[in-house]
Amino acid sequence: MPVLRRSLLPSLLCVALAGCLMGPDYHRPEVEVPASYRFAEQGSATGFNAGWWSQFKDPVLDELINKAIAQNKDLAIATARIEEYQGRVTTTSSALFPQFSANAGAGRERAAATELTPSYETSQVQLNAMMSWEIDLFGKLRRLRESAKADLLGTEYARQATLVSLEANVASAYITLRDLDQRLLIARATVESREGALHLFQERFQGGVISQVQLSQAESEYAVAKTSEAAIDQQIAQQEDALSLLLGQNPGPIPRGKPIDQISLPAIPAGLPSELLNQRPDIRAAEQALISANAQIGAAKAQYFPTISLTGLLGRASTGLGSLWDGPAKTWAYAGGISQPIFTGGAISGSVKQAEARQQQALLGYQSAIQSAFADVDNALVGEQRTKEQLAFTDDQVRSLHKYASLSRDLYEGGYTSYLEVLDAERSLFNAQLTQSGLQAQRLIEVINVYKALGYGWPTGPDALADSPAH
């Protein structure tokens, strides 16, 4: 009994205050974050690239991303999941309101005759309306609704994260495809060049001008070029299939737009502030998971307090349908109940401990998401900067190798050097051209990674940070 009185005291206080909420209210935790990104250019960021892929100025890429948004199955699943969680919020919220139901029944019965009573028949008609209501004095139901709403928002942010990833993946896959197309052109030009050299060497060998060694060298280099061409052709088909899957369609050919070296490269503005990460949907989803877990603590603690419920019944019962609405046919009942846990063997304290542990896990997940986001941005920024430097050096290398290949061939034709030097120059040029194409694509992909790491790109205008779209 003393335990009951101690537990009823806060209950009575809650009643006096017209209800209270158990558990901690949510406050955004302090997270230590750097003021800026390590590899960001200095300056002031302006501009918001909504529909950021349009900055590449390739209409075909625009069409592919729009098609993916309309047809991608993973995005459709994420959208359907939002509807599921909307239903959960409705279901959870409904517990705060009185629940009404009704039933009706009719029957007829015949009893057999006995030595003491004759046989007889009876009828029964009944119509009832019922009401039940759990009064949420201690906030259990409201905390559950708070948790459900946070789960819904988290699901919406998860869809946004899926959308951002889809846009970036389609753009990267398209850039990779255009890189492979460029590599195929390089390989075919090399095959054509080496095929011409091979025919010339075959004629010279037949004329006794060159040896079998030189002819074998030409045949080997031609075979290497043809092997590269076949391998790149295979990669193109597989890349088209992968991109088709992102577009939500069966494997098939993909339309092409601008060549890789003509796709516009968006300039990353200087001075990107760390606050931009507030727009990342995965961070927002992690925070909603924390809010939901925080509310579950209150719902668990509310189990320590009484559950108060009201029930009522209003109906009609009669032995005949015609007399169902007569005064004596009226039935009614009402009741109130209170249930107070006294000894549960630690079940409630265990539930509270579980809820608190889940809240700590969600907090650590939120902090980890922020740290990972900063790492993503830094990696993308340094990747773009270093790829730019590598591409500049490779451009110089390709120009030099063009001269080297031309001069070595002239020297060979003049009899001043061996064919090995020509092969070395052409082999080096071929590899450098493939590297150059790959770096052109990689730099574009690194810019895409910056967009993805920031969530939606970067803001434009003085008020853009406050008005960043929710996508």
State the pLDDT at residue 465: 36
pLDDT for 318: 59
pLDDT score, position 317 = 60
**Is the whole-model pTM more than 0.75?**
yes
Spatial CB neighbours of 116, under 8 Å, sequence gap ≥ 6: none
Which pLDDT tens digits describe the chain residue by residue (471 residues)? 344 344 444 444 444 444 577 778 877 777 665 555 444 443 333 334 457 888 899 999 999 999 999 999 999 999 999 999 899 898 888 888 888 888 877 777 777 777 777 877 777 777 777 888 888 778 888 888 888 899 999 999 999 999 999 999 999 999 999 999 999 999 999 999 889 888 988 988 898 888 888 889 889 989 999 999 999 999 999 999 999 999 999 999 999 999 999 999 887 776 666 776 777 888 889 889 898 888 888 888 777 777 777 777 766 565 555 555 555 656 666 677 777 888 778 888 888 888 889 889 988 988 888 888 888 888 888 998 999 999 999 999 999 999 999 999 889 888 888 888 888 888 999 999 999 999 999 999 999 998 888 886 655 443 443 333 333
pLDDT value of position 181:
96
Q: Exposed, middle or buried by CB within 10 Å (0-12, 13-18, 19+), for 409?
A: middle
Q: pLDDT value at position 462?
A: 38
pLDDT at 35: 53
Angle 224-261-377 from CA coordinates, rounded to 5° = 105
If you classify domain 20-97+143-304+350-454 with CATH, what class do you get?
Answer: mainly alpha
Structure confidence at residue 466 (pLDDT): 36
The pLDDT assigned to 249 comes to 93
The reported pLDDT for the residue numbered 457 is 62
How much is the pLDDT for 331?
64
Q: What is the pLDDT of residues 105-145, one digit of tens each?
A: 777 777 777 777 787 777 777 777 788 888 877 888 888 88
pLDDT of residue 32: 64
- Tell me the domain boundaries of the chain: 20-97+143-304+350-454
**pLDDT of amino acid 315:** 62
